[in-house]
Amino acid sequence: MPRRFDPERRQRIIDAAIRVVGRDGIAGLSHRTAATEADVPLGSTTYHFATLEELLVAALRQANEGFGRVLAERLPEDARGDLATELARALGQWLGGDRTGVELEYELYLAALRRPALRPVAAEWTEQAAALLARRTDPVTARALLALMDGICLQVLLTGGSYDEEHARALLARLIP
């Protein structure tokens, strides 16, 4: 049987891996579950991603794009508004959207604690987000704001509570000189 040209297959496998992790957690992801979810032969997943770590790296890289996009939209280079308000709104937009996507991003991000192959991707995301924030404040404050925003997001996700934008704005404002 001739090989079918399928330029989107790699992307479909990444998307499938993200759906599997979103539904079943990282423990539920295997080449086989990704292949089944993507409706591709098992050999396709191992062709595009020799190891499960490679597939997780690709999934984390794609998942990280979500909040990065929200930050980039909220913090354009020429913006001059109140930074604490902008960041609180960005968090509200992020947490107010698809919670599964937010949970997935954090699950993949925190997986780097146990999976060293994911650490460079998590570090890349941190550097990119800090660079976006540093356009509006100094680098040290940018990192402190990023850490606080991560903490706020994790608290909302872990407690199942609702996001309080005004409370987040007040917390963020305390860090901004």
42 shares its domain with 85: no
Q: Domain with 26 in it: what CATH number?
A: 1.10.10.60
Question: What DSSP letter does each residue of 98-118 carry, written as one string?
Answer: -HHHHHHHHHHHHHTTT-GGG
Asked if residue 53 lies in contact with residue 84, where contact means CB atoms within 8 angstroms, the answer is no
What tokens were used for 119?
């650490």
DSSP-based three-state secondary structure for 31:
helix
The verdict on 156 and 71 lying in the same domain is yes
The residue among 53, 51, 58, 15 whose CA lies nearest residue 34 is 15
Structural domains in the chain (count)? 2
Q: Grade residue 4 by pLDDT with cuts at 50, 70 and 90.
A: low
Structural domain includes residue 147: yes
Query: pTM of the predicted model, to two decimals?
Result: 0.81
Query: Sorting pLDDT into bands at 50, 70 and 90, what band is 6?
Result: confident
Residues 68 and 37 in one domain: no
In a domain, 56, yes or no: no
Is the pLDDT score of 2 beyond 50? no
Q: What is the CATH number of the domain that holds 137?
A: 1.10.357.10
Same domain membership, residue 41 and residue 69: no
Confidence of residue 102 (pLDDT cuts 50, 70, 90): confident
33 and 86, same domain (yes or no): no
Residue 161, phi-psi category: left (phi > 0), alpha (psi -120 to 50), beta (remainder): beta
Residues 149, 171 contacting (CB under 8 angstroms) = no
Q: Is the pLDDT score of 1 beyond 50? A: no
The pLDDT score that the predictor gives to residue 175 is 96
Query: Among 34-38, 63-67, 127-131, 156-160, where is mean pLDDT lowest?
Result: 63-67
**Residue at 59 is within a domain:** no
| CA–CA dist 40, 32 (Å, integer) | 10
Check if the beta carbon of residue 161 is closer than 8 Å to that of residue 155: yes
105 and 159, same domain (yes or no) = yes
What range defines the domain where residue 167 resides? 64-175
The pLDDT of residue 108 is: 82
Would you say residue 55 lies in a domain? no
